[in-house]
Amino acid sequence: MKLLNIPNSITCCNLISGCIAIVYALSSNAEMALLWIVIGAIFDFFDGMTARLLHVSSPIGKELDSLADVVTFGVAPSMILFNELNTHALPETLESARFFLPFVAFLMAAFSALRLAKFNLDERQAMGFIGLPTPANALFWGSLIVGAPEVLHTTPWVVFILITGILLSCWLLICEVPMFALKFKQWSWKGNEVRYLFILSCIPLLLWLHVSGIAAIILWYIILSVIVSKKKEA
């Protein structure tokens, strides 16, 4: 029973990280909010790994993991986007909608919750994902807001790109597109070619684009997943 509490404790650390990220997002500190989302993602990675290493799992652990993920990878990035839309310059034609427009960001929190509920019931996602994982979606938006402010604030019309991106994210979270997971049954090259190539390609993107490189990596992950999926279908 004590061993069972170890991965659950790590999951709770993920949840706490998400709460801290929300506080920073409310304070208009997107950099620190992103940092705590990243910390939450690290805890999210290790809670599952720990459960597998200790050979312990439980229904409560599965539900707790999803609840933590909703907070860290659903509500926290939605709050970052809410603050961005709330402070973003708008075209004159949209000024009358300034009070309502930022709330569009919370669609992403709702679809993240739906994606996690589907994941818990979908037996096809043992070694891969169907739809975009919530941590990837959260890291994309957090790194984009933090890493590319000069691009986002070039013109008031960028708000349309943000809203379109939010709606696209909502679709990607629940779509039926297979996406690979960074889970290794064994460490040899054969059978893990896509995973190793993806990891190696992340390094130059981070060195070149820094924080916004995380957003580029997530885009590359989506594109690569689609390519691999199409090859398997052919």
C-alpha–C-alpha distance, residues 145 and 77, integer Å: 10
Distance CA(93)–CA(159), nearest Å, equals 12
Residue 54 has a pLDDT of 79
Confidence (pTM):
0.92
CA-closest candidate to residue 131, choices 190, 70, 179 = 179
Separation between Cα atoms, residue 37 and residue 22, nearest integer Å: 9
pLDDT in tens, 5-35: 888 899 999 999 999 999 999 999 999 999 9
**What does the alpha-carbon distance between residue 44 and residue 57 come to, in Å, rounded to a whole number?**
15
* Model pLDDT, residue 211: 95
pLDDT one-digit tens code per residue, 72-111: 999 999 999 999 999 888 888 888 888 899 999 999 999 9
Give the span between the Cα atoms of 212 and 220, in whole angstroms.
Answer: 13
Task: State pLDDT tens for residues 53-77.
Answer: 777 777 888 889 999 999 999 999 9
Residue found by looking up tokens 């008031």 in the block: 156
- Please compute the mean of the pLDDT values over residues 203-231 and round it to a whole number: 93
Q: Quote the CA–CA distance of 69 and 129 in Å, as a whole number.
A: 15
In tens, the pLDDT along 172-182 reads 999 999 999 88
Give the model's pLDDT for residue 123. Answer: 76
pLDDT of residue 2 exceeding 70: no
Whether residue 234 is predicted with pLDDT greater than 70 in this model: the reply is no
Q: What is the pLDDT of residue 218?
A: 97
The CATH classification number of 2-181 equals 1.20.120.1760
User: What pLDDT is stored for residue 147 in this prediction?
Assistant: 94
